[in-house]
């Protein structure tokens, strides 16, 4: 009898122990599930936003002529533009153009030119674009603090910049928005042993044609010359291969 009671008590004790152990395990498991769930939710929430798939989207070509509004004026005032007696804000136009880069992709560019040549400059760059003529950069020279050398070193195609011709007191035709420099690195300014920009040394040999180089009678040359512009590559005493300018009475 005592033995039976002992066995019964042992069985009850074992059962209680098992129930307690099971209860603990159940609690641990059920507590871990929401933790993992929370972690998963947080992880999803913090995932970076994916870039939309642009496949099939149409690139919008832009060729526009604009007056110099306050936004553009504030960008250029006291940098490429200074108050003067030769050219006014109203004489200038801000051009937006689409061009093909050296990477064979389309890009948006900007130029400021004289209003008298704005339409034909736009037509020139439309023609260059249609013929996939490569231009590496096209930003206002103000992005380089109006520093012509820095702009050239960045191979930046630009136009208006109120400044004097290097080494003289004469205003450059860039001051009137009547000159444009294209791919200055591949088309350097050369006078005797002086080459500008410095990196243009490797492009002095004009027989070895490389991307971005302007050649006489090529598409870029013809686009300007056919509209009455002059090319610095045709000059005798110096060669300014990047430079196109137009003479207009009252400005030059």
Picking from 183, 195, 189, 251, the residue whose alpha carbon sits closest to that of residue 221 is 183
d(CA 182, CA 135): 7
pLDDT tens digits, residue range 76-116?
999 999 999 999 999 999 999 999 999 999 999 999 999 99
Over the chain, what is the mean pLDDT?
84
Which pLDDT band, with edges at 50, 70 and 90, does 62 fall under?
Answer: very high
pLDDT on residue 141 = 98
The number of angstroms, rounded, from the C-alpha of 60 to the middle of its chain's C-alpha atoms is 16
Half-sphere exposure of 105 (CA within 13 A, CB side): 5
The model's confidence at residue 250, banded by pLDDT at 50, 70 and 90, is: confident
User: Could you tell me how far CA 224 lies from the centroid of its own chain?
Assistant: 24
The answer, yes or no, to whether residue 252 has pLDDT greater than 90, is no
Instruction: Kindly indicate the confidence band of residue 10, based on its pLDDT and cuts at 50, 70 and 90.
Output: low
Are 165 and 172 a contacting pair, CB within 8 Å? Answer: yes
- 5 vs 219, more confident: 219
Higher pLDDT pick, 205 / 12: 205
Reported as a pLDDT band with limits 50, 70 and 90, residue 211 is: very high
Taking phi first (over 0 means left), then psi (-120 to 50 degrees means alpha), and beta for anything else, what does residue 157 get? beta
- Whether omega before 197 lies within 30 degrees of 0, making that bond cis, reads yes
pLDDT tens for each residue of 215-247:
999 999 999 999 999 999 999 989 999 999 999
Please report, rounded to a whole number, the percentage of residues in the chain having pLDDT higher than 70.
77
Higher pLDDT, 23 or 198: 198
Task: Quickly state the pLDDT bin for 24 (edges 50, 70, 90).
Answer: very low
Asked if the model's pLDDT at residue 52 lies above 70, the reply is no
- pLDDT tens-digit series, residues 147-173: 999 999 999 999 999 998 877 788 999
State how far the Cα of 95 lies from the Cα of 113, in Å rounded to an integer.
Answer: 8
Longest dimension (CA), the chain: 132
What pLDDT is attached to residue 165? 84
Place of tokens 């005493």: 237
Q: Which token pair is 165?
A: 């011709």
Structural contact between residues 240 and 225, judged by C-beta atoms closer than 8 angstroms: no
Per-residue pLDDT at 1: 52
- Per-residue pLDDT reduced to its tens digit, 124-142: 999 999 999 999 999 999 9
């Amino acid at each position: 009898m005592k033995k039976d009671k002992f066995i019964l008590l042992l069985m009850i004790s074992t059962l209680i122990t098992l129930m307690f152990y099971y209860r603990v395990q159940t609690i641990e498991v059920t507590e871990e599930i929401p933790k993992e769930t929370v972690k998963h939710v947080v992880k999803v929430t913090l995932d970076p936003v994916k870039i939309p798939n642009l496949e099939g989207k149409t690139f919008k070509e832009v060729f526009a002529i604009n007056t110099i509004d306050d936004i553009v004026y504030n960008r250029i005032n006291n940098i490429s533009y200074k108050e003067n007696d030769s050219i006014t804000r109203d004489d200038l136009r801000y051009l937006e153009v689409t061009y093909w880069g050296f990477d064979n992709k389309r890009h948006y560019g900007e130029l400021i030119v004289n209003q008298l040549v704005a339409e034909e400059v736009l037509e020139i760059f439309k023609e260059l674009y249609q013929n996939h003529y490569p231009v590496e950069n096209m930003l206002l020279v103000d992005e380089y603090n109006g520093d012509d050398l820095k702009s050239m070193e960045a191979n930046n195609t630009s136009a208006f910049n109120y400044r004097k011709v290097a080494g003289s007191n004469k205003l450059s035709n860039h001051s009137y928005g009547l000159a444009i420099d294209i791919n200055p690195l591949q088309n350097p300014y050369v006078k005797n042993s002086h080459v500008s920009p410095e990196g243009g040394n490797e492009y002095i040999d004009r027989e070895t044609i490389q991307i971005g180089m302007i050649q006489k009678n090529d598409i870029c040359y013809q686009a300007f010359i056919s509209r009455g512009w002059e090319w610095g590559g045709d000059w005798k005493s110096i060669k300014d291969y990047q430079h196109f300018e137009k003479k207009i009475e009252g400005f030059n």
